[in-house]
Amino acid sequence: MQRPGDQQDPQEQQHQEIALIVNPVNDAPAITAIPTSHEILLNPSGSTASSFSLTVDIGPANENSQQVQLICTNSNPTRLSVDCSQTRTGDGTLTIQLSATAGLDTSSVVTVKLKDNGGGADESTVATVNVSVTDAVVLAAIATDTTNYNIYSQAVSQYSGAVASSSRTFVVTVNSGIKVSSADPAVPAMRTGSLSSGARVRLINNGWIVGAFGAGGLPAAGATGAQRMGQHGGTALKIDDIYAQVTVLNNGMIYGGGGGGGRGGTDNTDVGAGGNGGAGEGPSSAALSGTVGANTGGAGGAFATSLVAGTTPAGDYSPSNGIAATHGSAGQGGSSCLIGSGLGNNPGEAYFGRGGFGAGFGGGAGACSTKFGGGGGGGHFGGGGGSGGLADLNDGGNVNTDTNGYNGGNGGAAIEVPTSVAVPADIAIEIIPGGSSQIAGCVWNDISGVYLSNVVSDTDINSRVLSYSSTVSQSVNAPSSLKIWSNGRGKAYR
């Protein structure tokens, strides 16, 4: 028995259990994904609905049954209504509905936060979304192959003349795999048309916009001088006026047509024919070689291809990607030889044709001959056609003066601008290239990897001197010394 004052044996000590109750504390919900900006393209005829979504993390697993709601503010309730009434239980997405009234461009700052029903820390941090409201004319997306698309005419057809003449943002989309083209090099594949100078244009190109090919020079004896020359390639996109802004979001191809090769020179009284110039690259066909001159005359120049490189003689156009025919030269549209005493006439007695040029791949020149020169080859997208080869003038009293090989056509413009534009700063154009963007024209060419940086003696085809630079590390919007060039059809920006 334990007496008072005796120590208790530790083995006989009593144990007591203490219960600790831990009450759960609510974790605040979180917005894990939300856009920082959102654009609404207004419908000219009334209010325009739009929406954006956000991703919700309600918290740990034991809170998955909680309900979460949205709390929003809107800095511009006069023009924009914001519906944040949607709720959900647990993790997932919530959508905020917007509605903007018609009118001029405006904007709003919308703030968003989450609140759950768990009590305590029940609100997320605030997210901010900058909403821009653009007074736009959204044209139906181009979903089938189309020729000679006119933005103004489409706005008249789809909306009204008043809308088409307004200073809104005109939005045009070319769907993936769709081709907008032209069969006539004098008519662009796509143009802005008669839009107001205060308008803005936004082109979203996911397909092809391709100018028409330039035809080769005709070989028939009755063809006029102009018909004997290779045609210039056609324009892909023509900007008809100096607008408030032109934005090209390019995820596809914008290609000027290739220039046609010139006709070969002839002998005797032109009853025969020099070789036919080959057509340039176009929307539906590859560039063609020039044909051989009559009576086993000079060989035709080869068509240009981005896969084969040629050489350019001193003083000719550079860089060169044509194929040189015998006695001919390759180049940015090759120029034919000058027949000298070795072929029976005096140096300088016959004229020689010049190849057209551009930043694309040029066709080879037709070969020279004592009979009939070969036709020049056609140019690749944005490249000039080769010239026709010469024939021999001095053949025993022949007085025919049609011995010269005719000029090849210049490459077409990817983007053509008004003639009043002298430098890029004269017109507000922004090009935003996507991962699949390719622009190929007479000034800028992603395929050949060059852009035209300068032209000297532009009005004298025989004294013209061209300078090219690499497109590597160059901004498509502001390459150094970019040349705005009159390529025979208009002012080429690209």
Q: pLDDT for 132-191, tens place per residue?
A: 999 999 999 999 999 999 999 999 999 999 999 999 999 999 999 999 999 999 999 999
* Three-state SS at 179: strand
Whole-angstrom CA distances from 100 to 39, 47, 129, 462 are 11, 5, 15, 60
Chain segment 365-374, per-residue pLDDT in tens: 666 666 666 6
* Three-state SS at 351: coil
Residue 160 covered by a domain:
no
For residue 403, what pLDDT is reported?
55
Q: Whole domain around residue 88: which residue ranges?
A: 30-134
* Three-state SS at 52: strand
DSSP string, 222-257: T--HHHHSPPPPPPSEE--S--SEEEEEESSEEEPP
Sequence length of the chain is 494
Residue 415 covered by a domain:
no
Kindly report the CATH number assigned to the domain that includes residue 73.
2.60.40.10
Token pair, residue 56, equals 């919700």
Least confident among 279-293, 392-406, 473-487? 392-406
Contact indicator for 80, 68 with CB cutoff of 8 Å: no
CA distance 250 to 444: 14
Residue 318 covered by a domain:
no
Max Cα separation, the chain?
Answer: 156
Mean pLDDT of the chain: 79
CA distance 372 to 395: 12
Is the Cα torsion angle 57, 63, 67, 69 positive or negative in sign?
A: negative
128: left (phi over 0), alpha (psi -120 to 50) or beta: beta
Token pair, residue 427, equals 């017109």
Highest-confidence range of 150-159, 254-263, 273-282, 390-399, by mean pLDDT?
Answer: 150-159
List of E strands, 272-391: none
414: confidence class by pLDDT, cuts 50, 70, 90 = very high
Q: What percent of the chain has pLDDT over 90?
A: 42
Count of domains in the chain? 1
Residue 69 covered by a domain:
yes
* Three-state SS at 118: coil
Residue 81 covered by a domain:
yes
CA distance 256 to 491: 13
Contact indicator for 359, 444 with CB cutoff of 8 Å: yes
Residue 114 covered by a domain:
yes
Residue 97 covered by a domain:
yes
Residue 268 covered by a domain:
no
Q: Is the pTM of this model over 0.85?
A: no
For residue 476, what pLDDT is reported?
85
For residue 321, what pLDDT is reported?
38
